[in-house]
Every structure is written in C-alpha cells, then in structure tokens.
C-alpha cells in the first residue's frame, strides 16, 4: 500500500487515521515527525517497527499546549516558565510522569517523558482534531538524516505508514532543544535552535555537558546513544584551514567518489570541476537549515563514497549544527585522518 500525502485541507482524514491506530508523519518548524496516538501502545509500537528504532530510545510526546501535558506529567514551576516563554516552539521539556499515565513503550521504561508543543499550525490542528497527543520521532529510517521535506519522509517510509501531512519545507532544519527539568539542575540533553543563552535568563543555571549516555544506560532523549543522521557515505568534518587539503584529495584520491558540503564562499573559492557540491548557504543559520537536506541529497548519489562537510564554531546554532554533523560523521574530523 502506498502512503498518502495529505494536504492541509485533509487534516480530518489524517486525524482519523491516527485515531484508528495508524501512523501519519507531520510537519514541525524543525523536522518532520512520525506521528502515532501516544495513548495507544499498539500504535506506538508500529513507530519503532516502521523506523527500525531501538526500543530503549524514548519518544517525544507532541501536544497542543500545556493543558495536554497536565494529563500525563507534573509541571514544575521552572518548566511552566519555559512553556510560557518558548511554547509553541523548538523546545522539548522532560518532566516526571504521573505513574501509569504513559506506556513504557513511550518512555523507554523511565519515570520521565519528553513533551513538545510544536510551532506549526497544521500539526496543532491535527493534534486537536485527533484529540490525542502524538509521539513524534523524526519521520525517517532510524540512523539516517532527519527529514525536512515531505518527499524525504516518503523516500524512507512510503508503504510503511498511512501518509504524511504536507506543509512544505521545515523552517529550522535541526531538531528541538531537549532540556531535562526532572532533576535538581536543568540539563540540556540535546542542543537545538534554542540556546542556553536564551533559556538561562528565564530559569537560571543550566548544565550543558550531558549529550551522551553509556552502552547500558537508557537515554532520556533521542540522539544521545545511537548513531544518527548518517548517510551511506563516510562524512569528514573540515575546518576552515583544511580546504586546500580537501581540494587536493577530491582532485586525486577521491576524484569522482566525493562530494563537498560548504557555504557559498568556500564553494566559490576553489574550482571544484567535476566534484559534486552542495551549498549550505551563506552562514551557520543557513547551514543548520540545509544540513539534513544536503546529506539526503548526496546520499541519493550512489557514486559518492566520501562527503567533506564544513565545520562551524560551537556557538549559538553552531552547537546544534555540530552536534548533528559529528554524529553523522561518527566524530571523524579530517584533521585526525591519514587520508
């Protein structure tokens, strides 16, 4: 069965599919999510199956607003401040759940759950029409680059889900910031579009150095444990001073098997000749927006075995960009390689 692309005029039909226990991908301002009724354990299990996702990787629950969260979790005063300031928006908040309120299939067996109120009018209408919160991991095959267009979703999941609600290309392009509000000190578990500099004036001190977990530890948020965002080709991260080396490598060793992802001034600086290139735009904001689209575009070219991708400073949105790029590269920086 082929999956359907639902227009925004067909939200009622998409919502009925969700109520029937089927999967519908939905747009957010960050990436497309794979939606299922968060209160239907059978439907949630279908999400793991469709994605090929590890079962101990918890799911984010997407809600239409704060009132939806109260049915499932305890909202701390600091968490309420964040909701008041940044919802709807690219901020996922981890909270202690009410015992038994959510299936362990959603929480990964933890006593916490992650909640998000996305800044996308079509998806908010979908949640309200379905009358249930939606789990929503990225709507892609697990481990592959996240989808920022409906066609990315269809590439990975056509035939595995009921369909995708089409709202065009997403605005931000990297997933939401995940902040854990269940402990003594708020902790960023995944960097995203909202930075600590924006969050700390609202709630005070934030811990920012806990982005990974051990092999036997259950992650509280997606992207902390398993390899993510990876195309078939090996990605190498390139610093500003290393483009001469890249130019030599693609002109000799990797001649017609490599691709370059960089901002426009880097692409304009060298004659890349027959090398495949992908523009990340003009700056780090553009790069974050275009990163997943670039990885997916290059992944569709079977000749490409190596991708050289531009490094940015881990400041502002650069931290989220580098978090995703380092995971897609398996932490492989060109400066550490003997190529």
Q: Which residues are annotated as a binding site for L-threonine?
A: 30, 62, 116, 176
Helix (H, G, I), strand (E, B) or coil at 4: strand
Give backbone dihedrals phi and psi of 124, rounded to 5 degrees, phi first.
-60, -40
Residue 296: alpha-carbon gap to chain centroid: 14
Nearest to 247 by CA among 324, 122, 334, 125: 334
Q: Which residue has the tokens 């932490």?
A: 331
**Rounded CA gap, 30 and 52, in Å?**
22
User: The tokens of 182 are what?
Assistant: 């269940």
Quick check: 164 and 25 in contact, CB under 8 A? yes
Helix (H, G, I), strand (E, B) or coil at 296: helix
Give the pairing type, strands 306-310 and 234-238: parallel
Annotated binding site: 30, 53, 57, 62, 112, 116, 138, 146, 176, 190, 229
Annotated binding site for ATP: 53, 57, 112, 138, 146, 190, 229
To the nearest 5 percent, what fractions of the chain are helix, strand and coil? 35, 20, 45
User: The tokens of 88 are what?
Assistant: 């709807």
Dihedral angle at the C-alpha atoms of 143, 148, 150, 155, nearest 10 degrees? -30
Helix (H, G, I), strand (E, B) or coil at 294: helix
Q: How many helices (H) and strands (E) does the chain have?
A: 12, 14
């Amino acid at each position: 069965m082929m999956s359907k692309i639902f227009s925004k005029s067909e939200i009622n039909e998409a919502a009925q599919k969700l109520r029937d226990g089927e999967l519908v991908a939905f747009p957010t301002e960050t990436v497309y999510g794979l939606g299922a009724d968060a209160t239907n354990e059978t439907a949630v299990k279908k999400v793991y199956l469709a994605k090929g996702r590890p079962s101990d990787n918890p799911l984010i629950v997407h809600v239409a607003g704060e009132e939806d969260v109260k049915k499932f979790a305890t909202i701390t005063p600091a968490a309420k401040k964040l909701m008041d300031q940044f919802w709807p928006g690219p901020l996922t908040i981890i909270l202690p759940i009410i015992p038994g309120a959510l299936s362990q299939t959603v929480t990964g067996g933890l006593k916490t759950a992650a909640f998000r109120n996305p800044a996308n009018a079509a998806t908010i209408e979908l949640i309200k029409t379905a009358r249930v919160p939606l789990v929503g991991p990225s709507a892609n095959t697990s481990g592959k680059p996240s989808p920022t267009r409906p066609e990315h979703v269809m590439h990975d999941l056509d035939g595995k889900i009921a369909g995708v609600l089409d709202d065009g290309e997403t605005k931000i392009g990297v997933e939401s910031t995940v902040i854990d509000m269940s402990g003594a000190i708020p902790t960023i578990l995944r960097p995203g579009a909202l930075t600590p500099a924006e969050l700390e004036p609202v709630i005070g001190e934030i811990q920012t150095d806990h982005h990974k977990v051990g092999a036997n530890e259950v992650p509280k948020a997606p992207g902390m444990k398993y390899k993510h965002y990876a195309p078939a080709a090996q990605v190498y991260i390139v610093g500003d001073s290393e483009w001469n080396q890249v130019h030599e490598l693609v002109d000799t060793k990797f001649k017609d098997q490599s691709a370059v992802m960089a901002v426009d001034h880097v692409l304009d600086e060298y004659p890349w000749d027959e090398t495949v290139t992908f523009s990340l735009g003009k700056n780090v904001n553009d790069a974050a927006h275009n990163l997943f689209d670039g990885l997916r575009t290059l992944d569709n070219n079977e000749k490409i075995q190596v991708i050289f991708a531009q490094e940015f400073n881990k400041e502002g949105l650069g931290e989220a960009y580098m978090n995703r790029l380092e995971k897609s590269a398996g932490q492989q920086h060109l400066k550490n390689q003997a190529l």
